[in-house]
Amino acid sequence: MKRLTRFCGFARTRLGSDEKRHEYNCRVSARRLLRWSYLGSVPYERATALQRDVRDRLDKGETIDHLLLLEHPHVFTLGRSAADDDVLVDRQWLASHDVEVFESDRGGQVTYHGPGQLVGYPIVDLNPDRRDVRRYVRDLQQVLVRTLEDYGVSATGAGEQALIGVWSGPRKVASIGVHLSRWITTHGFALNVTTDLSFFERIVPCGLPGARMASIESLAGSRPELGEVAAVVARHFGDVFERQLERVEPAGLGD
């Protein structure tokens, strides 16, 4: 797709006015390719390393945009704005419940990831036409809102900075925390599907004391498989971000 864009840009300087308009419309309407994968359960530390590898390859022009969809074993992650007392349990509790704790360079405070939660890590180059962090967050919210609608859940994306995420009434069903470097994105979102919500009671989720969390299961009574939800998320991501999708197996990531 990058070759197509470069060719069209070259052609514009040489064609007549009518052909210029035709070429311009072609270039604008063409969708960049995005590869997506559902990886199943991946430890947080391994997923972070995978994001960095794909991001570095993308920055060097060695690969294209990716969307990694997966779930994590139990883990609390602390964003750049997190405080130590956002985790409400001691090391003994963490060890007895097999919960790891990691610091993260994403935005936001502390959150929980675990089985039954779909985590999405878009590694996307926002250059040249989507260089707007607020728009990027709004677009992620829209992807999740559309996904939830497909499962019978009415939800909205929050406009206030402190409430960033996706809410169904007073309950938060998805969290968002991102990192951008040279307009390439990492980290992303977490959608509660069949998540054990009791783990959120052991933290101050997203820095919001008393925040009430929800899942597709708790709101709609259904228990969809994560792989199924991943395909729905990918479809809506392609529509919102105007990307042509290509599903790849995990072994093909970064190619």
Backbone angles phi, psi at 111, to 5 degrees: -145, 170
Q: Which of 145, 206, 226, 229 is catalytic?
A: 206
Q: Who contacts 193 (Cβ-Cβ below 8 Å, separation ≥6)?
A: 116, 117, 118, 215, 216, 217, 223, 224, 226, 229
Q: Rounded to whole angstroms, how far apart are CA atoms 82 and 179?
A: 15
Half-sphere exposure of 100 (CA within 13 A, CB side): 13
Q: Rounded to whole angstroms, how far apart are CA atoms 120 and 235?
A: 13
Q: Who contacts 64 (Cβ-Cβ below 8 Å, separation ≥6)?
A: 1, 2, 32, 33, 34, 35, 58
Report the chain's C-alpha Rg in angstroms: 19
Q: Under a CB-based contact definition with an 8 Å cutoff, are residues 98 and 199 in contact?
A: no
Per-residue CA distances from 125 to 63, 65, 229 (Å): 11, 7, 24
Q: Known catalytic residue: 26?
A: no
Which residues are part of the catalytic machinery?
206
